Amino acid sequence: MADSVFRIGSLTKQFTAAALLMLAEDGKLSLDDPVNRYLPEVSRNDPSTIRQLLNHTAGFTDHVGGADL
Protein backbone atom coordinates (compact mmCIF):
# COMPACT_ATOMS: atom_id res chain seq x y z
CA MET A 1 0.00 0.00 0.00
CA ALA A 2 2.93 2.33 -0.57
CA ASP A 3 0.90 4.35 -3.06
CA SER A 4 -2.03 4.91 -0.65
CA VAL A 5 -2.78 8.30 0.87
CA PHE A 6 -3.54 8.39 4.58
CA ARG A 7 -4.73 11.37 6.62
CA ILE A 8 -2.36 11.70 9.55
CA GLY A 9 -4.07 14.63 11.24
CA SER A 10 -2.07 15.95 14.19
CA LEU A 11 0.01 12.81 14.65
CA THR A 12 3.29 14.41 13.57
CA LYS A 13 3.06 17.59 15.69
CA GLN A 14 4.93 16.14 18.67
CA PHE A 15 7.71 14.76 16.45
CA THR A 16 8.13 18.11 14.69
CA ALA A 17 8.22 19.92 18.04
CA ALA A 18 10.81 17.48 19.43
CA ALA A 19 13.00 17.91 16.32
CA LEU A 20 12.82 21.71 16.59
CA LEU A 21 13.73 21.59 20.28
CA MET A 22 16.69 19.34 19.51
CA LEU A 23 17.89 21.78 16.82
CA ALA A 24 17.54 24.64 19.30
CA GLU A 25 19.46 22.69 21.93
CA ASP A 26 22.27 22.14 19.41
CA GLY A 27 22.33 25.88 18.62
CA LYS A 28 21.25 25.35 15.01
CA LEU A 29 18.21 27.60 15.39
CA SER A 30 16.58 29.78 18.00
CA LEU A 31 12.99 29.37 19.09
CA ASP A 32 12.75 33.14 18.71
CA ASP A 33 13.76 33.05 15.03
CA PRO A 34 11.07 34.27 12.65
CA VAL A 35 9.22 31.47 10.89
CA ASN A 36 9.79 33.07 7.49
CA ARG A 37 13.55 32.51 7.88
CA TYR A 38 12.91 28.79 7.31
CA LEU A 39 9.59 28.91 5.44
CA PRO A 40 9.93 31.59 2.76
CA GLU A 41 6.32 31.13 1.70
CA VAL A 42 5.31 32.87 4.96
CA SER A 43 5.07 36.61 4.40
CA ARG A 44 8.16 38.66 5.27
CA ASN A 45 5.77 40.99 7.11
CA ASP A 46 4.67 38.21 9.47
CA PRO A 47 6.57 38.47 12.80
CA SER A 48 5.61 34.96 14.00
CA THR A 49 8.37 32.96 15.68
CA ILE A 50 9.07 29.25 15.97
CA ARG A 51 8.24 29.53 19.70
CA GLN A 52 4.80 30.92 18.83
CA LEU A 53 4.19 28.07 16.39
CA LEU A 54 5.13 25.50 19.03
CA ASN A 55 2.83 27.21 21.55
CA HIS A 56 0.02 27.48 18.97
CA THR A 57 -0.04 31.27 19.45
CA ALA A 58 1.27 32.38 16.04
CA GLY A 59 -2.21 33.12 14.71
CA PHE A 60 -2.08 30.78 11.72
CA THR A 61 -5.39 29.23 10.74
CA ASP A 62 -6.06 25.75 9.43
CA HIS A 63 -4.53 25.35 5.94
CA VAL A 64 -5.64 21.84 5.02
CA GLY A 65 -5.83 21.44 1.28
CA GLY A 66 -2.73 23.43 0.38
CA ALA A 67 -4.05 26.96 0.89
CA ASP A 68 -1.39 29.65 0.99
CA LEU A 69 -0.04 30.78 4.35
10 tagged catalytic: yes
**In 3D, which of 24, 7, 3, 26 has the Cα closest to residue 65?**
7
Burial zone of 27 (CB within 10 Å; 0-12 exposed, 13-18 middle, 19+ buried): exposed
Catalytic-labelled residue, pool 4, 10, 30, 48? 10
Q: Active-site residues: which are they?
A: 10
